[in-house]
């Protein structure tokens, strides 16, 4: 019986240590499971599991494994937050697989996505025909975000007897993120930095550093979210 007591202590310690680690790393480990997060979770489970059944490993060894692996994961998160260019390398980048109703085969081939897999992902978004899709984006966690064509958006304009204009549907573009201009998106949208700064001034912003997020949609005013520090109250169900 005494031989089971060390395993009991180690299991309880490992449980609470992993629970604490998930709190430190944040909810993105669960809600936005990227391929890197998936592999990291498997390896962490293997490390802890092997330590539990190793007779020579005790609580100090399990603690060392969890702290070391948790530090590596936390360091990766900090790096991707501080150096934005590393996000695409570590977390991956969203990819447009359907643009203006047309399949982008090169992007699908690059992401090893065949038509059957794509249709399966679209059905998960209540889309049963590619004909209904104006834009589809393959996210880094393997899901697909869909913007339907005007006639298929609920409630549909066809049902309301409203004339459907192709230019009614436009995909939004991020121009500012974390106080930095995304010049590639600015160029893709045929916009200039001078125009962007003018739009910021119109809405009362003097510098780009004041803006946390700015989104451009053709035909609409620039959508801006500033950096705001607030004391958030804890939400209780």
Residue 137, pLDDT score = 92
Inter-residue long-range contacts of 167-172, CB under 8 Å, 24+ positions, other chains counted? 167/219, 169/134, 169/135, 170/217, 170/218, 170/219, 171/134, 171/135, 171/147, 171/217, 172/215, 172/216, 172/217, 172/223
Q: What pLDDT is recorded for position 6?
A: 61
Handedness of CA 119, 121, 127, 132 (dihedral sign): negative
Does domain 173-226 bear CATH number 3.30.9.10? Answer: no
Query: Measured between alpha carbons, how far is residue 116 from residues 94, 129, 140, 169 in Å?
Result: 19, 12, 19, 26
The reply to whether domains 95-168 and 173-226 share a CATH topology is: yes
pLDDT at 74: 77
* Spans in the chain with pLDDT lower than 70: 1-11, 13-39, 47-48, 50-58, 84, 86-92, 156-160, 162-169, 228-237
* The CATH number, out of the four listed (3.90.1170.50, 3.30.240.20, 3.30.70.270, 3.40.1190.20), of the domain defined by the range 95-168: 3.30.240.20
pLDDT in tens, 161-196: 766 565 556 778 889 988 889 888 898 888 999 999
- What are the boundaries of each domain within the chain? 4-89, 95-168, 173-226
- Asked if 69 and 19 count as a contact pair (C-beta separation under 8 A), the reply is no
Instruction: Identify the pLDDT of residue 134.
Output: 92
The string of pLDDT tens digits covering residues 56-69 is: 666 777 777 777 77
Task: Write down the pLDDT at residue 136.
Answer: 92
């Amino acid at each position: 019986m005494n031989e089971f007591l060390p395993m009991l202590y180690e299991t309880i310690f490992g449980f609470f240590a992993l629970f604490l680690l998930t709190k430190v790393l944040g909810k993105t480990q669960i809600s936005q499971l990227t391929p890197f997060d998936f592999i990291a979770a498997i390896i962490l489970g293997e490390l802890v599991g092997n330590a539990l059944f190793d007779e020579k490993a005790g609580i100090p060894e399990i603690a060392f494994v969890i702290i070391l692996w948790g530090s590596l994961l936390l360091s990766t998160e900090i790096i991707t937050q501080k150096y934005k260019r590393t996000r695409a390398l570590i977390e991956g980048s969203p990819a447009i697989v359907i643009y203006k109703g047309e399949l982008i085969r090169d992007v699908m081939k690059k992401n090893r996505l065949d038509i059957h897999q794509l249709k399966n992902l679209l059905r998960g978004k209540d889309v049963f025909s590619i004909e209904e899709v104006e834009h589809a984006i393959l996210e880094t966690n393997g899901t697909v975000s869909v913007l339907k064509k005007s006639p298929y958006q609920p409630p549909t304009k066809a049902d309301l007897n409203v004339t459907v204009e192709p230019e009614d549907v436009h995909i939004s573009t991020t121009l500012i993120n974390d106080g930095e201009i995304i010049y590639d998106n600015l160029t893709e949208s045929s916009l200039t930095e001078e125009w962007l700064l003018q739009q910021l001034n119109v809405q009362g912003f003097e510098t780009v550093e004041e803006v946390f997020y700015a989104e451009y949609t053709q035909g609409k005013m620039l959508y801006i979210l500033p950096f705001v520090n607030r004391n958030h109250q804890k939400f209780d169900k």
